Structure 1
Amino acid sequence: MFLPHIYHCLDRSVQLLLSQGARPDLVSSKGVAAIHLAVGKETEKNIRCLKIMLQHGADPNIRSAEGLTPLHVAALWGCYQNLKLLLLNGGNPNIHDNVTISIIFTRYHLVLFAYEESFHNEKLNIILVFSYLGYSPELCLALRTFKLPNCQSDEQSLCLQFDQPDQNRKWREGIIKSSFNYLLLDPRVTKNLPFRSHTMTPQECFQTFISAIFYVGKGKRSRPYSHLYEALEYYKGDKSAKRLCPKVQHILQVWSTGQGVISLHCFQNVIPVEAYTREACMVEAIGLKMLTNQKRGDFYGVVSNWQSKRKRELGIHLLYRAMQIFLAEGERQLRPADIRQR
């Protein structure tokens, strides 16, 4: 027996039907279960209905005909309380729908509504979202407590080795100091963070900054723009969009809103292996699942022998330094028109 009253979310009727043996996980002829319908709105009645269904064993990961889980639905409709309930009751944020989009896809949706005024008024803990989505344990701790690892000496060790590299050793891509790191940021999340930062705590700034990063790279000269040029070909319709990589897909999603991608350049004028090592530390700190990067980075020199925890902590330190650069330089967005003119 399906739960028809869920369309109007009459919690008493739902309670009665469930007590009489109604199946909360039964998928209807329309391809959805009752829990999918309940999580799409965040009224008091809907929240009560969701709690009742979860108490009666409703599966928080049940898939619709399109492969959507209740988490997908709640995230898409910006229902934070429903999301919180689902996550606390076993909702899996890593499940993909039939189009291979996971809840990670909507990490940006989560942050967009999580930082709304109502979120601050209720004093809810955004680390709940961060932890479940897949950041490294060290970064989760830093986001929750804002106790950043003290890695100045580790960064100094990294710099010293590559500032005057051994001339007799063959380093990857040579020893010319023409490399740098760059981060691609989502403006839907930053919302001009440098401008807003004066009204936010440093912890809130760092949380927002981390949430906005969707790619970490290393490059020379115009390397960051190669991603944008590639996306531009799809944007203009010159290529089929059937096999878009996650990075290009994300760029196109930003452009579709009329906004531009933010390309933040940092740690400039270093040799390639130093830039590769910094990139790898930041990727490890954030976690590959939280980025559109396809693979982990490569470590070189003394850092390659460090334990993973130490590498991730250095990554957090570097990310915080990158944020300080971003706040000082201001937000600059790159739209399709800007790329065409290059």
Structure 2
Amino acid sequence: MSKLLVLLALRGRSLKDLHSVQDRGLKFSLGVHHAPSSNFSPELQQTLKSEQNFGRIEQLNTLVKRQRSWHNQHDQGKRQFCNYLLLDPRVTNELKQRAKRMHQLDIWLTFLRAIFYVGKGKSTRPLVHLQQAHKLLQTANPYVRVKDPKLALIVQIWQQQRGVLLLRGFRGISSNDAHTREAAMIDALGMNHLTNRRQGVYFGVARKKFTSVQRKLLGVGLLYNLLGVYMRSEERELQPEQVCSDKKIATDAAA
């Protein structure tokens, strides 16, 4: 799904002044907190309605294990891939440090709201996005920037003297497995919430046997697992100057 092809330059507005943009009826706000009911899938939204619903997330590990087991048994691809999330630190706001004083639903919601991109690839793949954003940071053409909402948001975060949060998980899996997990998390979060411009692709049992609802529930379970990774990891903001100099960006524990 293509979105945010904004003729910003024609309107004489800078990216720094951009709060929300709209294209083809889809609204996406850069760096603004969203009402979860207008962004997440119904399956993910349901987990935010009550403590009882939130407590049921762990039951989704049945789907996670079923998906993982299928790929372990039938997928012969090289296990060199992982999934990763890009998060906005202005939304997390040092979530780990604040978590002890927060309700579990607020922790979950804050984590979900902070995610603006879901990806898959080998170890250096996330750096490509940051390197592209670093190049755009040096330009003076805001129209070029907002062609890709992911890069636009990274640039805006940097312009506000903050750094992008990178969270890796599910290391050592095959390409098809990583594609499937990426697709499930994108479907759970919803395209209107994310800066991803394409929906993911499913493989294996998730493609052949899972219903549309089960795929989203798989994504919910995977996101919950990554919340655990986030809470165990050091929150490190990646600044523009680190993109080219730091070759070992993000050493998060594997999920």
Range class of TM-score, shorter chain: 0.7 to 0.9
Q: 1:194 to 1:101 in 2, by over 3 A?
A: farther
Q: Is the 8 A contact 1:228 1:251 kept in 2?
A: yes
**Residue from 236, 239, 242 that aligns with 2:143:** 242
For residue 221 of structure 1, the aligned residue among 120, 123, 141 is 123
What is the Cα-based RMSD across aligned positions, in Å? 2.3
Q: Equivalent of 2:180, from 269, 277, 291?
A: 277
Aligned residues of 2:75 and 2:174 also touching (Cα < 8 A): no
Q: Give, in whole Å, the separation in 1 of the partners of 2:128 and 2:83.
A: 14
Aligned length: 223
Q: Which residue of 44, 50, 68 maps to 1:159?
A: 68
Gap change, CA 1:315 and 1:235, over 3 Å in 2: same
1:293 to 191, 196, 208: 196
Distance change >3 Å, CA 162–CA 304, structure 1 → 2: same
Residue 102 of structure 1: how far off its partner (Å): 6.3
Contact 2:27 2:192 in 1 (8 A): no
Q: Which residue of 2 aligns with 1:309?
A: 213
Structure-1 separation of matches of 2:44 and 2:123: 30
1:236-275 CA distance string (max 9 Å, x none)? 22x8442331000010010011010001001111011111
* TM-aligned CA deviation for residue 162 of structure 1: 1.4
Secondary structure at 2:47's aligned position in 1? helix
Q: What corresponds to 2:235 in structure 1? A: 331
* Percentage of matched positions with identical amino acids: 32
The DSSP-based 3-state class of the residue aligned with 1:319 is helix
Write the letter of the residue equivalent to 1:130: P
Q: 1:102 to 1:273 in 2, by over 3 A?
A: closer
Give the equivalent residue in structure 2 for 1:30.
none
Q: Radius of gyration: which is bigger? A: 1
Determine the C-alpha separation between the residues in 2 that align with 1:201 and 1:241. Answer: 39
For 1:196, which of 87, 98, 102 is the aligned residue?
98
Higher share of residues assigned strand: 2
Partner SS state of residue 290, structure 1: coil
Larger relative CO (CA 8 A, sep 6+): 1 or 2?
A: 2
Q: Which amino acid aligns with 1:223?
A: R
Query: Which runs of 5 or more structure 2 residues have no equivalent in the other structure?
Result: 1-10, 12-18, 247-255
Which consecutive segments of 4 or more residues in structure 1 shift more than 6 A? none
| Aligned CA distance change for structure 1 residues 257 and 102 (closer, same or farther; 3 Å) | farther
Measure the CA separation in 2 of the matches of 1:292 and 1:211: 12
Q: Which amino acid aligns with 2:41?
A: S
> Match of 1:136?
41
Q: TM-score, normalised by structure 2?
A: 0.81
Give, as a single letter, the amino acid of the residue that structure 2 aligns with 1:196.
Answer: R
Does structure 2 retain, via aligned residues, the 8 Å contact 1:195–1:330?
no
- Note closer, same or farther for the CA distance 1:144–1:104 as it changes in structure 2 (3 Å cut): farther
Q: Which runs of 5+ in 1 are unaligned?
A: 1-65, 67-75, 77-92, 112-128, 168-174
Secondary structure in structure 2 of the residue aligned to 1:143: coil
